Amino acid sequence: MEPELYILLKDRISRLCQLNNRDWEKIKDIFVLKTLSKNDFFAKEGEKADKFGFVFSGCLRMFNSVESGSDLTKHFLLSGDFFVGAVNYSEKNSVSIQALNSCEILETDFKKLEELSKTNKFISDFKNNLVSEYIQIKQNRENNYLSLESIERYKMFLIDFPNLLNQIPHHFIASYLGISATQLSRVRYKIIKG
């Protein structure tokens, strides 16, 4: 019987493409279990993209550093999420990816996944569908960021990430929402007071 983390990986891939046992074995063979401690980096912005990951447990955040010295949190990664610092293997990471707590991930060499996708239609479909899924997530987030007030963005955060509120520092949540930590405190107070 396969370990639970590989069952989760197979299930998640199967939602993005038709996967037969032969293709599954090829994919499974290139992933290895890694543990990231709190604050460890999976990828750093500007460095060569060389790894592709899948979250089994824990929470990571994708972010960009800005000139003021602060960070702009783009996304939180939880169990069942795939992640990479750049869309293509030949590029540099466009984001940094850091563990916010102890994480178990499955990791593969990005180049191995790229090579498999060139010779295998199902793996190519997986990669293309994954890119489409993340483009949709990014577009939805941008639309909400532009059209919703901070209190509505916070409520959406609570729906999208129901278990994160008390697990990660609130300044990361504020950064994700595009508001200051002080504004986040005010928003939370308004919701509590009704």
Residue 108's alpha-carbon distances to 30, 52, 133, 166, 178, in angstroms, are 6, 5, 20, 31, 32
Report pLDDT for 19.
Answer: 84
CA distance 113 to 172: 31
Mean pLDDT of 1-20: 89
Residue 59's alpha-carbon distances to 54, 163, 167, in angstroms, are 11, 10, 9
User: What is the DSSP-derived secondary structure letter of residue 48?
Assistant: B
Task: Write down the mean pLDDT value for the chain.
Answer: 91
* Residue carrying the six token digits 């000139």: 67
Query: Which range is least confidently modeled, 75-79, 143-147, 156-160, 185-189?
Result: 143-147
Angle between helices 21-30 and 4-14 (to 10 degrees): 120
95 band by pLDDT with thresholds 50, 70 and 90 = very high
141 band by pLDDT with thresholds 50, 70 and 90 = confident
Report pLDDT for 87.
Answer: 82
Mean pLDDT of 157-183: 92
- Cβ-based neighbours of 49, under 8 Å, separated by 6 or more: 43, 84, 85, 86, 88, 89, 90, 91, 92, 93, 110
Between CA 106 and CA 116, with CA 110 as vertex, the angle to 5 degrees is 100
Report pLDDT for 82.
Answer: 96
User: What is the DSSP-derived secondary structure letter of residue 164?
Assistant: T
1 band by pLDDT with thresholds 50, 70 and 90 = low
pLDDT digits (tens, 9 = 90+) for 21-56: 988 998 999 999 999 999 999 999 999 999 999 999
Whole-structure pTM value? 0.91
